[in-house]
């Protein structure tokens, strides 16, 4: 049995900047602090956090939406891939990022409880805040 959840946060960047960084290996690594391989090509594989997360790009709508399969090394061999949908909505000079995660294996609640916030949202906010500060210099 699996479960779904949705989380949101506000990032100090444009939707286009977040979209581009999410799908770029160097930028994704820099904004999360974990080694990533990413691509802006439909069907291309991706990985994050030194290979802990793997998947492929299912849908790419520049600046607005990313849909990817997603699984971690903690998934059982017979667990199907889960799916994440990242929706980027402009809110004044920032972006509301809404992440929906579907098909998470039962019992793996750390992604919802703290994983996304600690390993994505917090470092992304810091990464883009630092970029914005350096642009003002």
Q: Give the tens place of pLDDT for each residue, 6-57.
A: 999 999 999 999 999 999 999 999 999 989 999 999 999 999 989 999 999 9
Q: Which pTM value belongs to this model?
A: 0.91
d(Cα 102, Cα 28) in Å, to the nearest integer? 22
Domain locations in the chain as residue ranges:
2-136
| Cα–Cα distance, 123 to 110 (Å, whole number) | 17
pLDDT of residue 20: 98
Tokens describing residue 117: 């916030």
Which CATH architecture fits 2-136?
A: 2-Layer Sandwich (3.30)
The length of the chain in residues reads 137
């Amino acid at each position: 049995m699996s479960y779904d959840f949705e989380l949101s946060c506000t990032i100090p960047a444009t939707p286009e900047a977040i979209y581009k960084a999410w799908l770029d290996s160097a930028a994704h690594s820099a904004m999360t602090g974990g080694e990533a391989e990413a691509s802006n090509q439909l069907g291309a594989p991706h990985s994050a956090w030194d290979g802990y997360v793997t998947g492929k790009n299912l849908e790419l709508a520049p600046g607005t939406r990313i849909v990817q399969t997603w699984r971690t090394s903690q998934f059982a061999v017979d667990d199907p891939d889960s799916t994440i949908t990242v929706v980027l909505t402009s809110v004044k000079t920032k972006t509301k990022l809404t992440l929906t995660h579907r098909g998470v294996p039962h019992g793996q609640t750390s992604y919802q409880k703290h994983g996304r916030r600690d390993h994505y949202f917090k470092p992304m906010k810091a990464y883009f805040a630092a970029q914005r500060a350096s642009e003002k210099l």
